[in-house]
Structure formats: structure tokens, C-alpha cells
Structure 1
Amino acid sequence: MKVKLLTTISFFTYQLSVSQSEKVLHGKVMSNNNPLNKVEVINKTGQTSTRTNNLGEFSILVKSRDSLLFFSKDYFFTRLKITQEHIDQNNITVNMIIKPEELNEVVITNIKFDRVKTSQQNIDDIKLAKDAGSLEKYTGVYNGTITNGTDFARLGKDLVSLFKTEDDKPVKTKTPKTDFKKLVAASIPDDFFIKNLNLKPEEKELFIEFCDADPRSKNLLENSNILITMDFMYAKNEMFKKLKTESQN
């Protein structure tokens, strides 16, 4: 009886140890039935990462309850919680959604128009010039011109003078981005700040400024790695929330 009990306990202990050990998970990343190449696949829990091949396939070590992050700059950030069913299936498919194309920024400038000044003398001079140039008025011979027609040469000169600007100043100038902000914009998806760091949308820019002020952020530029950047932002998020709580109190 004791032997049977020990055998049963040993069997369940073995099954538990096997279920908790890391296993290689195979999968494929797709978008609209097309395989995606060079997608970053990050095991946030296991601190490992890999990339998909030309067929969208990947292999990575996982265990149950690990979090996998899928990132590509042209697609929305995707997160997957690994279950035992995924491990047993060992052939998962992840679908990513492409980001909409962004339009180029339009900069509006101030344009100042010169006021057109006309005196009675100018009017008289123009009338006299028209009368003197009209052969039809004095000789009755038509010279091919239209008496009250438009002087396109003069009109062109007036338009050029109207659109001359004294000082073209942009209404709004963009604040130049630092190298760290460019790194974050290119590698960290927006969902990371809301879903992973639990920040409010309006807190995102302030938090990035907070991280940029830390001299250690410059070290990330020398070794641009998504996983290291995320870990840095996780640590800074704890300090950010602590300072916010203290300021509220």
C-alpha cells in the first residue's frame, strides 16, 4: 500500500515538474493571411526574444502563464498570455493589425498683404494713356485691341506685389525631439504605456519627459534593444507613480 502511494506521489510530482519546465513553442505571425517577416517576439516573463523568418515562423522557449509580446513598427502591438493549451498545441498563429498611414504635417504660415493705394492722379493718368493709345478714338481705325480690356501685364505685376511678404513666420513650430524620444517613438508601441505601465493617455508625454531627464536614457541609444528599453521604463514608472502620489498628498 505504501509502495503504491509513493509511486502515485512520484508520478504527480514528475508531471508537475514537466509542466512547469520551459518548452520550445512554435508559431506563425500573420496579417491579412500574409506572413510577417522580422517581427520582434519577446518573452517578457522569461526575458528572451527572437524574430520571425520570411515565412512568419518563430520558435521561443516558454512556460505556462508567460507573456509574449509581438512588435513591428508598421503594425499594432500585440500581447499573448501563454496557456498550457498553447504549449500542447505547439503551433499557434498570431494575427497583427496594420497601422493606418499617417499624413505629412502641414505647416500654416502668416501672409501679410500690402494695401493697394490708388490716387485720383493715378486714375487720370491711366485714362489718358488709354485714350492716347486708342487709334480708333481719333482716326476711326481699329488697331486690334479691346478698349476696356484687361491689362494682363499690369495685373501680373500687381499680383506679385500683393504676395510679397515682409516676414513669414510659422504659426506653430514643432518642439525638436531628442534622440531618446525618437527611440521611444520608433520602438515602443502606444499600447505599452496604457496596458503595461497603466498610464493615462494624457500622462504619456510627461512620463517620456521624465525618462528622458534620466542620464541613463542616453545609454540606451548606444545599445538599441526593445527589451532593455522596456525594462528601463518599467523601473522609471515605479518612481513616476511614487512622485505623483507624493505630489497629490
Structure 2
Amino acid sequence: MTNLQERTAELAANLATVEERITAACAAAGRKRDDVTLIVVTKTYPASDVRILSGLGVRHVAENRDQDAAPKAADCSDLPLTWHFVGQLQTNKVRSVASYAGLVQSIDRGKLVTALSKEAVRADRELGCLIQVALDAGADGRGERGGIGPGGVEELAARVAEAPGLRLDGLMTVAPLTGDYAGRQQAAFERLMDLSTAMRAAHPAANMVSAGMSSDLEQAVAAGATHVRVGTAVLGVRPRLG
């Protein structure tokens, strides 16, 4: 068996296990399996793995660093994939990200909205946008891993909705490591769902809720997440970045 065959078999087995977990979580929550979309986080892994995943039926992949994502997306431009950008995004990387990402899940400040809008219009593309909610936001309204506090969601959502070239798709969060929700993933995700419900009063189509990763996808599905972002459980433990 070649290395490619071995890796394909490994990824297929891991995907099947994750699929079983999502299916079981949906059943336990009384939800349809089709209600939840799997996004495979391919950060630190090569384009060859993305090709294997595409062949196994994966249609959504995510990256968090433009310097890794841009060449990978170019290498895989022939595949039927939607690329999600999930990392903290600096404005000097916006032009590049706007050229390949279908969705940016880490919208957390007005300056980023302005920059993305400009580059989306320049590229003649429509970019889906999720506002990243920081449930551990401090006094400055920011979270440790990016995101805007719940109190800033309404205003930022309005800015995205009004921006040319951008489409407000919903909300995203990462379960906090500190603060009131530390170790309480399902409570955190339920809070995100409450914020989603409130936002949809003004923006009914923005119904995407991205929450949950390899370790807590069940809690995210139970809370009502529409998308889960799974990396390690599919691709394996990540190599250390130098």
C-alpha cells in the first residue's frame, strides 16, 4: 500500500468516526443530520490532504493563516470546495483572503469590514461573513482569541449587512478558556444561539451558527449550531509549527 493509499484510508476512517458523532449528536438533539454542516479545518496540513478529503466528499474546508491558505487554495482551485477563513485577520492580508475565501468567520471590527468590502468589490466577489463573538470579552470588548463582545454584535452586523460585496451569514464563536463560560461549552454555545436569534430579528437570512470543534462538537450540535469546525479528529494531531 502506498503512502497515498494509507493516508486516504486513515482520513476515510477518521471522517467516518466524525460523521457517526455528528449523526448521534443530531439524533440526541432531535435534529436532522442535514441540519449540520461539517467544515474540516486543514491548517498545517498539505494540499494533498485537501485533495483526499475532497475525494471523500468534503465540501467545506477552513484555514486560519493566509500565508498557508493562499497557496493551498490555489493548488486546489479545481476542486468543488468552499474555503472558510477562521483565524484573526489583519487588514494587510484582506486582499489575498478575499481572492479565495467563500466565507470569513472572524469578523470582529469595523475596520476589517471596510477593508473586506473594498477588496470584495475589487475582486467582483460576494464574501459571506460571520461575526466572531467573544464570550470572554474583557472591558475593552475583545476576546483573548479575537472576536467582539456580545454587546457589539448588533452594530457590527448592521455594518456588514450594509457593506457592498459582503453578505451577513451569521455568528461564530470559540468556546472560551477563561471567564464565566470556561469549561461550560454547551452554555457558551447556547448563549451564541440566543445572540443569533436576536440578530435574525433584523437580519433573517443570517442564520448560520458556527460553533464546536473536535472536542466539543456534540455540545455545539445540542445547542443548535449549523456548522461545526473539526480538524484534529479528522486529520490527526497537528505537527508543531516552528
The two structures have a TM-score, normalised by structure 1, of 0.23
Larger Rg: 1
